[in-house]
């Protein structure tokens, strides 16, 4: 469902961005977007009516020079305002990273204390910090699988399921894969990343852990994969336009109040380490997403979860901004 709010305005880095757009009641199409908010229909410019962003990514090394040329001028341009902005890519696989921001993990460790654990907060914070240090030393990221069906557009409404008791926000940097990656080293991992985009990995905190059998552990299917729980975009910004993915500012505002404001420098495992780690087991395919975790400042930290009518404005430096409104699901 299309959001009725105008998107938050934020510039993106570089001479162009890659997007998926649609005219009212029209099919989605891949587009090149300029900083002046003008659009090139890549189906027309590249002569392929069946073209999608994912197909572009499947030939990323060959396509990128052509996109640079189109951004330089000569193609037909139309105003971005004529189109609806959709999620920039339809991935086949979504790799999600948990517990990857040091301060965020410490905050959650304190918020989710075990029953009967009456130790002082500073003692439990010190315990979490020591745990994060051990994970970093042993090179043990935490990666799990999300569902593409949870993805929605960057300006779409987000339906809060009636069963979700504690829906929370998690703004994240997402790497977009541009070449098949399998068992790649940390040193070469970024060569397989076509670009970056913004993801808000919503989570129902009440269903993260199984109540019926706690020893099973986390239930990411239930807690993270409701339809629309991953607003994505608005753009894919090529890696060549991002000087350093290890120092980007992530900011989320709830109804205008800043809740998350942190640099990716606080990541325990950076993009290269996450991509390399995931590729040691799985084949990462062009168009796949690697979500890199969320910094401190989630709803559990503030004691304030998402409600009907809330508006989230999320931005990452150089990648633009998304705006989504929460709408409570009406129980059937």
Residues 54-65 have pLDDT tens digits of 999 999 999 999
Angle formed by the axes of helices 121-138 and 102-111, to 10°? Answer: 140
Distance CA 251, CA 261 (A): 4
Distance CA 271, CA 230 (A): 19
Distance CA 100, CA 98 (A): 6
DSSP single-letter state for residue 10: -
Residues 191-201 have pLDDT tens digits of 999 999 999 99
Instruction: State the pLDDT at residue 139.
Output: 77
**Do residues 319 and 248 make contact, with C-beta atoms less than 8 angstroms apart?**
yes
Domain 94-328: give its CATH code.
3.90.850.10
Q: When comparing pLDDT for 210 and 136, which is higher? A: 210
**Which residue spans within 178-279 are E strands per DSSP?**
193-200, 203-204, 230-231, 237-238, 249-254, 257-263
Residue 214 in this model has a pLDDT that exceeds 90: no
Q: Which residues contact 47 (CB under 8 A, 6 or more apart)?
A: none
Residue 242 in this model has a pLDDT that exceeds 90: yes
Confidence of residue 9 (pLDDT cuts 50, 70, 90): low
Distance CA 222, CA 227 (A): 11
Q: What is the DSSP string of 87-107?
A: -S---S-EEEEES-BHHHHHH
331 burial class (0-12, 13-18, 19+ CB within 10 angstroms)? Answer: exposed
**pTM to 2 decimal places:** 0.92
- CATH 3.90.850.10 intervals, the chain: 94-328
Report which secondary-structure segment, H or E, holds 172. strand 171-177
**Do residues 141 and 273 make contact, with C-beta atoms less than 8 angstroms apart?**
yes
């Amino acid at each position: 469902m299309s959001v009725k709010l105008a998107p938050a305005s934020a510039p993106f880095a570089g001479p162009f961005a890659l997007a998926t757009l649609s005219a009212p009641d029209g099919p989605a199409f891949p587009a090149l977007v300029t900083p002046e908010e003008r659009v090139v229909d890549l189906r027309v410019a590249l002569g392929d009516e069946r073209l999608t962003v994912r197909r572009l990514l499947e030939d990323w090394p060959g396509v990128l020079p052509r996109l640079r040329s189109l951004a330089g001028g000569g193609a037909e341009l139309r105003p971005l305002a004529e189109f609806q902005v959709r999620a920039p890519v339809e991935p086949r696989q979504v790799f999600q990273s948990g517990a990857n921001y040091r301060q965020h993990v410490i905050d959650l460790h304190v918020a989710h204390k075990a029953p009967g654990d009456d130790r002082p907060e500073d003692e439990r914070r010190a315990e979490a910090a020591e745990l994060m240090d051990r994970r970093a030393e042993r090179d043990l990221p935490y990666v799990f699988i999300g569902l593409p069906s949870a993805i929605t557009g960057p300006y779409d409404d987000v339906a809060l399921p009636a069963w979700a008791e504690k829906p929370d926000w998690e703004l994240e940097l997402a790497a977009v894969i541009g070449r098949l990656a399998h068992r790649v080293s940390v040193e070469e991992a970024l060569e397989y990343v076509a670009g970056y985009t913004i993801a808000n990995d919503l989570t129902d905190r009440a269903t993260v852990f199984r109540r019926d059998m706690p020893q099973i552990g986390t239930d990411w299917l239930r807690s993270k994969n409701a339809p629309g729980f991953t607003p994505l975009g608005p753009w894919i910004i090529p890696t060549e336009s991002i000087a350093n993915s290890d120092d980007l500012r992530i900011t989320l505002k709830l109804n205008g109040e800043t809740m998350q404001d942190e640099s990716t420098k606080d990541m325990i495992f950076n993009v290269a380490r996450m991509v390399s780690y995931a590729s040691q087991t799985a084949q990462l395919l062009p168009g796949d997403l690697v979500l890199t975790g969320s910094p401190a400042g989630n709803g559990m930290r503030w004691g304030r979860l998402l409600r009907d009518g809330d508006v989230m404005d999320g931005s990452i430096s150089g990648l633009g901004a998304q705006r989504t409104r929460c709408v409570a699901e009406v129980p059937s």
